[in-house]
Amino acid sequence: MKNLKYVLGLFLFLTFGIQSHVKAQTPQKNDPKETSQKFAAALFYIENFYVDSTNSPKLVETAIVDILKELDPHSAYLSKEEIDAANEPLEGSFEGIGVTFQLSKDTILIISPVPGGPSEKLGIQSGDKIILINGEEAFGNKINNKFVMDRLRGKKGTTVDVSIYRTGKKDLIEYSILRDKIPINSIDATFMLSKNTGYIKLNRFSKTSMEEFQVSMTKLKAEGMENLVLDLRGNSGGYLNTAVELSDEFLDAGKMIVYTEGLNSPRQEFHASQKGVFEKGKLIVMINEASASASEIVSGAVQDWDRGVVLGRRSFGKGLVQRPFQLPDGSVIRLTSARYYTPTGRSIQRPYEEGVEKYYKDLYERHQRGEFVHADSIHFPDSLKYLTPGKRVVFGGGGIMPDVFVPWDSTQFSDYYSNLIRKGVFNNFTLEYTNANRNKLKKTYPTVQSFKRDFIIDDIIINNFIEQAKKDSVEWNEAQFKQSEKTIQYQIKALIARNLWDIEAYYEIVLEMDDALIRAMEIIDKEDIFSYLRTD
């Protein structure tokens, strides 16, 4: 009976929580009391008369999940165990030993220690292999990401013992590592693209993003930055307040950044306040079909106020606000309570009336109808046209349509190239190559810039790479190799750079063949494109 009372109370809460949606969807009047009693009665009969024993909490959890599926694609249930994992990337830190690792041939291979983390302080290096964790063998078929996380992560102040194999050393090296709080960076790369144009790649909108952004801007301005390319491609969003704060850095005080509104959520507006660090100067915001939510808030505000050029492909179209509600057992419902609207009044959210399955098939359907390649395959009715203060036409209907469209170049991605990625050939080859040549490479190329300028992927490297691919069961196809040869060369070089330095080094190299970034650099000095924008 105790379980039944818990369930009844829980569903009274749930029922009242979803009444607004029910009323919006159906004209008839619903009695919340009758609805909750109906469910409680059904569960009572199951508990007391079903032929076998039942698990009431599990039944309730399943029911909650199914109810939320009926509402919209982004309302979600998170168990108590799932909450921390879901929040960790946005909180900006975790507790552990501070290494980036990769599983290579059933071995834990350290890509790089986190700067300032406990592993780096003890002298653990890129290319080290963890063989034992607290005396337990840490190699072989049993090794997976969960195995590693469960053993290396832990509360700050606790200790984990590891035995490491290092190339050139006969015996294993023993380390006792005191776990600490490890930062998770939301900015992958910050560097100058030219003498006056800076580049920042933001991968999520977390609690630490603005602090990181300020550091990046200080660095770029010290190097002579006058223009900025902000890369939000693949950025699926994060905290609303972080998106507002980032937009504030580009807009004059008082300008609306975004507003939210729902049936039971009164309109709430967010405006630029303090003087931003980049209210003047040419700004390009890069987006694609994987840019969502907070990314769309920033790009929508920049576009609606004629502050900069949005470049790339139409964004995902996730404009629903989720509000967390904690349930009695510590689990959480993230319930959609409002929609995001850009300053001109465009709803960021794309339609989802045809169901969740079709909603998530939208990106596939965009690809099928050629939207990733041809901008004219996207058709907007006049009812979705909006005007900016500069009298430019922008479009609603879900997602942000860029000012400058850059097609996806599928010609360089052959099946051979896809198989190389799928089989892990790039990572396997570049890790082994780097480990075998680390000292020589570092001596010959002491900086990322010297490596970027002088290191060449020659025929010897390519032939060895092809042989590695064959060993990893990737069938040789000369025609497809030729099709993807340039991309393969850049990937190899960029991954070696990452193994020698960090993820920023990877981007500095791989972006040299990035069509969207090349296009951005082509238009940054074209005054006609920026003539209607506020850049001075």
Question: Which active-site residues does the annotation give?
Answer: 293, 304, 318
3-state secondary structure of 142: coil
Q: Quote the CA–CA distance of 483 and 463 in Å, as a whole number.
A: 16
Can you tell me the distance from the alpha carbon of 501 to that of 494, in angstroms, rounded to the nearest whole number?
10
Crossing angle of helices 478-500 and 503-510, rounded to 10°: 140
Separation CA 218–CA 202 (nearest Å): 16
CA-wise closest residue to 117 among 138, 94, 135: 94
What would you report as the CA-atom Rg of the chain, rounded to the nearest whole angstrom?
26
Helices then strands, each counted (H, E), the chain: 19, 21
Q: Which tokens belong to 85?
A: 């994992």
| Measured distance CA(232)–CA(209) in Å, rounded | 13
CB atoms within 10 A of CB 276: 18
Q: How far apart are CA 413 and CA 483, in angstroms?
A: 8
Place of tokens 């794309």: 350
C-beta separation of 371 from 406 below 8 A: no
